[in-house]
Amino acid sequence: MPIIEVAIAVPLNKTFDYQSDHEVAVGARVKVPFGAKKVIGIALANKDKSDFNKLKSIVEVLDEMPILDKPILDFLFWAAKYYHHPIGEVLLAAMPKNLRLGKEAKIKKVIGLPLKTSQPDFEITQEQTLAIEAILAEQHKYHGFLLHGVTGSGKTEVYLRITQEVLNQDQQVLVLVPEIGLTPQMIARFEQRLKTRVVAIHSQLNETQKLDAYLMAKSGDAGVVLGTRSAIFAPMPNLGMIIIDEEHDGSFKQQSSFRYSARDLSFIRAKQVGIPLILGTATPSLETLKNAMDNKLTRLTLANRAGGVVMPKVSLIDMRSHTDGALSKLLVEKMQQYLSKGKQVMLFINRRGYAPVYFCTECSWKSECNHCHASMIYHRHINRLKCHHCGDEQMPEQACPECGEQSLEVYGYGTERLEETLGSHFADTPIIRIDRDTTRRKKALAEHLEKINSGEPCIIVGTQMLAKGHDFSNLAMVGILDIDGGFLSTNFRATEYLAQLLIQVSGRAGRSGDQGEVAIQTRYPDHPMFHYVLSNRYTQFASSILKQRMSAMMPPFSHQALLCANAKNKQNAEDFLREVAGLLKSVKLDTVEIWGPVANSIEKKADYYYFNLYLQSNDRKALHQMLATFSQHIDTIKLKNKVRWYLDVDPID
Ligand code: ADP
Ligand code: ZN
Ligand code: ZN
């Protein structure tokens, strides 16, 4: 009678042995007793011996065929080891929820083929041709490419053509895109063009749809799998190419439980399968630029916009002497000009809600969350103060709780207040606001985008969600408000992110027809970053930052890991990390620096105090050796059960 080694989603670095009356396919799901419960696990091996006595028996084998085949298992084992995350949690996190819950691995509704495809009427450019040829020359083996194309240069067109070639060879293509905003438009473009089944994997699908998409990827019926970060784990037996669009985007990094980077993992998957990997962007991350400089990626450049369209004209509006309201007179005038010509205008402001501050003009008391070290944000449509960190809500006070005066006011602007202000300047123009509050309903975002795509003149007010990838053909002007916070941030990556954001947002303007215009309101018009952003010289800007990072030996020239501990008792969180630091220092790896514990930039969130311990080394191996030691000895840390903790390998903020 075989013994089955099973991985279970528990935060322990081990697997569990069970008795079975027959062999189980490796990678199949099994139901097993665990403590008082029955849980779903993944069979990893059939063995004849176990180190343990009195094994419990498997309750049920759920799959005859493996759910996770050998290539995916190898990939996930690699990921678990690299991120020092328990294998059971990694394996189960990589599957759709319905499989995790033990539901049958059966397709409910076959996703249809797009019926009619249509090809574009334009000729591809010389630059596009060169990129396509370079990529197709390196098929059937691992080769990494950076497709660096300015916004609107036709990168998507390149993806479509190389994808069709791979499909023609009966292989599948995996395309990763950032969070939701982009997915519907990309899916539509891929469906319209490609003679194959395109399945999407993203958070807006219901669980049945997610399972169907997963199974169609696994059966090979889907030629293209297009999804957000978790799609990197989609099983694809005939995978022939991986494309990561907007590779610089932070949403490829999962920021909870299993903290992986889908972008970084795509290198491993492409290498394991032996296929090309394409990272596309207008604003490469510094990691990717360094990889290109080190010849780990072949760089392909699309320096010009497709179809003879020119890049937008970018200018600054100096706000230093501006005291009243969110909009400068100049910006309003420019908007009027474009709207009167029947064009669309977009205003970007990266804060939702009505106003970020609710305060007393007499004593300067400020409304703060009772559970977090953070301001309460005023939301007008519900007349509530809301904490964007823990979600807590309250009625705004009528009188100041500090001095008792009725002198409470809001300060600053969010999307909601901007929308209101615009209404007074542009009474006859439709205003479309896109942020988390106006897109909570499932189809809301798609409806908003449809309105914009109809081309009618309108003002679009939006946050981050609108920054990337969208192709609105009648959008002529973009106004950027209130980005100055980025200059004051403590995150060493802040200016890199800000430059990427400005270029991406600017890239929405004037994508067809006449030259577009971008106006950036700022109180720091002399900041050196603008010098590059105004003339669209992202690469030069990034090179200058890379030099600084090199001399300071910061990422990507060194490697980091972060251990975060949090607890209701502040002392416990700090002391836990002190104890860990002591353990790590005893390993005596001089090449790894350890800093901390230090309080998180927001020290208290939802009643928990957050502290961080930072590890950094030029030697990735040494860093990982230290992390492995930590994982092995975590049980010896006395305060372990008094805190919640997590490890973040290659953290991004
Ligand atoms: P990117 O992904 O680089 O931002 P897109 O692929 O969205 O750019 O292309 C921008 C626009 O230019 C799209 O409307 C696309 O259809 C169009 N386009 C792409 N390639 C060409 C070409 N060679 N000639 C004319 N128009 C093109
Ligand atoms: Zn007061
Ligand atoms: Zn809060």
How many angstroms separate the CA atoms of 453 and 455, rounded?
Answer: 5
Give Cα 8 distance to the centre of its chain. 27
Confirm or reject: Cβ of 605 under 6 Å from ligand 1: no
pLDDT attached to residue 606: 97
Give 610: exposed, middle or buried? Use CB within 10 Å, 0-12, 13-18, 19+.
Answer: buried
Tokens of 183: 């997915």
Q: Which atom of ligand 1 is nearest to the CA of 282?
A: 3
Decide the pairing of beta strands 198-201 and 224-227. parallel
Average pLDDT, the chain: 93
Instruction: For residue 299, name the pLDDT band (cuts at 50, 70, 90).
Output: very high
pLDDT attached to residue 183: 67
Please report which ligand is nearest the Cα atom of 363: 2
Q: How many Å lie between the centroid of ligand 2 and the Cα of residue 606?
A: 26
Instruction: For residue 595, name the pLDDT band (cuts at 50, 70, 90).
Output: very high
Confirm or reject: Cβ of 510 under 6 Å from ligand 1: no
Q: Which of 127, 150, 156 to mutate to test the pocket of ligand 1 (most atoms within 8 A of CB)?
A: 156
Helix (H) or strand (E) holding 16: strand 16-19
Is a pLDDT exceeding 80 seen at residue 111? no
Under 8 Å between Cβ of 317 and 328: yes
Helix (H) or strand (E) holding 340: helix 329-340
Q: Which of 190, 278, 471, 536 to mutate to test the pocket of ligand 1 (most atoms within 8 A of CB)?
A: 471
Question: Nearest-CA neighbor of 178 among 287, 75, 84, 285?
Answer: 285
Between CA 487 and CA 494, with CA 493 as vertex, the angle to 5 degrees is 25
Q: List the beta bridge partners of residue 475.
A: 344
Among all chains, which residue has been given the structure tokens 């703060």? 368
Please report which ligand is nearest the Cα atom of 403: 2
pLDDT attached to residue 430: 97
Confirm or reject: Cβ of 124 under 6 Å from ligand 1: yes
How many angstroms separate the CA atoms of 231 and 213, rounded?
Answer: 10
Helix ranges, 429-561 (H):
444-453, 485-488, 494-506, 528-533, 538-552
Range of lowest pLDDT (336-345, 485-494, 603-612, 627-636):
485-494
Q: How many Å lie between the centroid of ligand 2 and the Cα of residue 359?
A: 8
How many angstroms separate the CA atoms of 488 and 595, rounded?
Answer: 22
Is a pLDDT exceeding 80 seen at residue 469? no
Specify the DSSP class assigned to residue 307: G
pLDDT attached to residue 180: 61
Quickly count: other Cβ atoms within 10 Å of residue 601's Cβ.
Answer: 12
Is a pLDDT exceeding 80 seen at residue 442? no
- Tens digit of each residue's pLDDT (9 = 90 or more) over 73-88: 999 999 999 999 999 9
Is a pLDDT exceeding 80 seen at residue 286? yes
Given strand 37-47, what is the order of strands in its sheet?
A: 16-19, 3-8, 37-47, 29-34, 60-61
How many angstroms separate the CA atoms of 422 and 350, rounded?
Answer: 16
Range of lowest pLDDT (105-109, 228-232, 295-299, 643-647):
105-109
Residues listed for the chain: 653
Tokens of 494: 């802040």
Residue nearest to atom 5 of ligand 1 (CA): 154
Q: How many Å lie between the centroid of ligand 3 and the Cα of residue 602?
A: 10
pLDDT attached to residue 188: 87
Please report which ligand is nearest the Cα atom of 246: 1
Tokens of 515: 């030259």
Range of lowest pLDDT (154-163, 289-298, 465-474):
465-474
Please report which ligand is nearest the Cα atom of 393: 3
Phi–psi pair at 565, nearest 5 degrees: -125, 140
pLDDT attached to residue 172: 98
Helix (H) or strand (E) holding 585: helix 570-586
Helix ranges, 341-435 (H):
415-425
Q: List the beta bridge partners of residue 578.
A: none
Q: Using alpha carbons, list the distances in angstroms from residue 243 to 154, 178, 260, 292, 498.
A: 15, 12, 18, 16, 24
Specify the DSSP class assigned to residue 362: T
Confirm or reject: Cβ of 155 under 6 Å from ligand 1: yes
Cα dihedral 71/76/77/83 (nearest 10): 150
Under 8 Å between Cβ of 284 and 542: yes
Residue nearest to atom 9 of ligand 1 (CA): 154
Q: How many Å lie between the centroid of ligand 3 and the Cα of residue 439?
A: 22
Question: Nearest-CA neighbor of 111 among 19, 186, 210?
Answer: 210
Q: How many Å lie between the centroid of ligand 1 and the Cα of residue 353?
A: 34
Is a pLDDT exceeding 80 seen at residue 620? yes
Residue nearest to atom 6 of ligand 1 (CA): 154
Share of the chain above pLDDT 90, in %: 81
- Tens digit of each residue's pLDDT (9 = 90 or more) over 570-587: 999 999 999 999 999 988
- Tens digit of each residue's pLDDT (9 = 90 or more) over 323-373: 888 999 999 999 999 999 999 999 999 899 999 999 999 999 999 999 999
Specify the DSSP class assigned to residue 296: S
